[in-house]
Amino acid sequence: MPTAWRAFNSFWKRFTAVLYLKTVYSIKVGLEATGHYSYNLLGFLLDSGLPTYVLNPLHTNLYRKSLSLRKTKTDKVDARTIAAMLLSDLGLKPYTDTAYHNEELKSLTRYRFDKVRERAKLKQSVSRLVCILFPELENLVPSLHMSSVYALLEEFPGAKQIADSNLTRLKFLLAGASKGRYGRDIAVAIRDAAGASIGSIMPAKSLELRHTIRLIRGLDAEIADIESSIRSVMEELHSPITTIPGMGLRMGAMIVAEVGDFSRFDSPDKVLAYAGLSPSIYQSGQLNNGYAHMEKRGSRYLRFAIYNAAKYVCIWDPTFAAYLAKKRAEGEHYNVASHAAKKLVRLIYAMEKSRLPYRPVTAT
């Protein structure tokens, strides 16, 4: 029997068995969230029409500890715990087909997040190497991380190389990389500073600098490609989240990707809890925590996106700006964006449920 036929026969037997069990019994399938390990299984279960519940491992761990004082954790105990959670009335919501197909957007946004962090580390290396090879350059340009500066350092990775360069070549290099913004004046200033620089002459560091810049350029192209794919997926989803002033495509896509199906959450507070932005409360008798810290459990990507989006929305939207000013007048620190984040989550939750774009509040 050919291999393809055996695989199809095996799949068909499993599929018919699932259909039979579904018609005879009321089945619920539960499993812990295991990332990519459960992705294919989730697709099979959803295609079979079975109500599937994806449980947070932290939730199952705490529930297992509540059932017994013994520190016993085995596969059988975990399976029994998941079954007990499905049988009990815990308000669990089944995993939806919308959330499953949203995994593509989640993969793209997380992949971009990792690439941006990788690029940030390389930029730190560039700053470190320039401090060794040509420390005066930082005071001559608005930022080291500009295409014109990268073009300069990629060809002349050090003060000695710049000082020995031809002024005409240096001028045309800067003018071309900056699209005409920098000309002869800045070229003369950079070469004169390089001639009097206290930077070290280290060929190994110069080689590292040149290679680091090439890696950054490669990451820039990769990130741009990822963002193009994110934009395509967001256009298909028709999410109203990007109509909020200050809500960029990248942060909006990450919020939509991490939350998935908003119908899984009964209220905005549960979205906040899922992001780990809800305050932790500890009270016992006369003891009460004076300052409630954020729990910081759940999706760190969602927490990052909501927190950063809230800062920009507070700048661009008058309603949020007034709200932040009110909280600051009450003594809140400017960097404490938890109140604005809660307000933003409530807004996003209402918009995603209604599928209506953002409408600014008009003064009466």
Which residues, including other chains, have CB under 8 Å from residue 85's CB and lie 6 or more apart? 30, 55, 59, 60, 63, 92
* pLDDT tens readout for residues 79-102: 888 888 888 866 777 877 777 678
Q: Per-residue pLDDT for 282 more than 70?
A: no
Query: What's the mean pLDDT in 226-249?
Result: 92
Query: What's the mean pLDDT in 207-234?
Result: 95
d(CA 191, CA 38): 58
Q: Residue 288 has what pLDDT?
A: 54
Reported residue count of the chain is: 364
pLDDT band at 363 (very low <50, low <70, confident <90, very high): very low
Determine how many CB atoms are found less than 10 A away from the CB of residue 83.
12
Query: What's the mean pLDDT in 303-321?
Result: 89
d(CA 84, CA 310): 39
- Residue 57 CA from chain centroid, whole number: 21
Query: What's the mean pLDDT in 183-194?
Result: 90
Determine how many CB atoms are found less than 10 A away from the CB of residue 182.
22
d(CA 348, CA 355): 10
Which residues, including other chains, have CB under 8 Å from residue 181's CB and lie 6 or more apart? 148, 175
Q: Which residue has the higher pLDDT, 244 or 275?
A: 244
The average confidence (pLDDT) of the chain is 83
Tokens 């409530």, located at residue: 346
Q: What percent of the chain has pLDDT over 90?
A: 40
What's the pTM value of the predicted model, to 2 decimals? 0.77
Q: Residue 108 has what pLDDT?
A: 94
* pLDDT tens readout for residues 22-77: 554 578 888 888 777 777 888 888 888 888 888 878 778 888 888 777 777 888 88
Contact indicator for 281, 224 with CB cutoff of 8 Å: no
SS3 93: coil
